[in-house]
Amino acid sequence: MNRPDTTAFLDGILHKTEFSRGGYTAKEVTIDAMTVKKRRVDYLRFVPPGAVHLSDIEKGIFICYEIKSCMQDVYSGNGLNFYGEKNYIVTTMETYKKLQPDIRSGKLDHHVKETNPDSSLYYGIKVAIPKGRGKYEEYEQPTKLEDAEEWTLHTLVECRPGPRKRSLAEMLFCMLRSGGQEE
């Protein structure tokens, strides 16, 4: 599968598995619009514990998702913009395996900060795995994307929640400006 097709494939799985659980999601959210620090997040999700009381809204968290189809995409300089309490790279098992040495050595963290000093280092990794297949089995022998019909996302590296540096109002406004929708 080529890079655009892999990105579309990962996008579809992300929608089916993550965005069907309630919350509010916006695609291609611009942070610091009309400034030299302008950055775009593939998906920004707001998840409040409820939607009845004002305190529910104030206790909500933001989750950023950056879809990366291959190593070139990871290191392209586009993306890895993490502004939420939780942040995830969404990728294939093949890319995750290639990325592991860079995670261990700190090269990926250095790249994140070099391309966007405002980006959080609190991030995890979600990987596409065929339904019915275990993550360890998939790690040992990755399935070609064309060789399975049903896929799901598994969290291989859980994100520790980190601090958010931007206000609730600013983040919600950025989502609104990009056309966010309730799921």
CA dist list (Å): 4 to 15, 20, 56, 134: 17, 23, 38, 26
* pLDDT higher than threshold 80 for residue 181: no
Q: Write the pLDDT tens digit of every residue in 74-127.
A: 998 788 999 999 999 999 999 999 999 999 999 999 999 999 999 999 999 999
Stated pTM of the model:
0.93
Residue 111: φ, ψ to 5°: -65, -45
**Mean pLDDT within 168-175:** 94
| pLDDT confidence band for 55 (50 / 70 / 90) | confident
Give the integer Cα–Cα distance in Å for 154 and 162: 21
Determine the 3-state secondary structure of 29 from DSSP: strand
Q: Identify residue 30 by its one-letter amino acid code.
A: T
How many independent structural domains does the chain possess?
Answer: 1
Q: Which domain holds residue 100?
A: 3-182
Q: Write the pLDDT tens digit of every residue in 12-53.
A: 999 999 887 778 999 999 999 889 889 999 999 999 887 767
Kindly give the residue spans of alpha helices, DSSP state H, lying in 134-167. Answer: 135-140
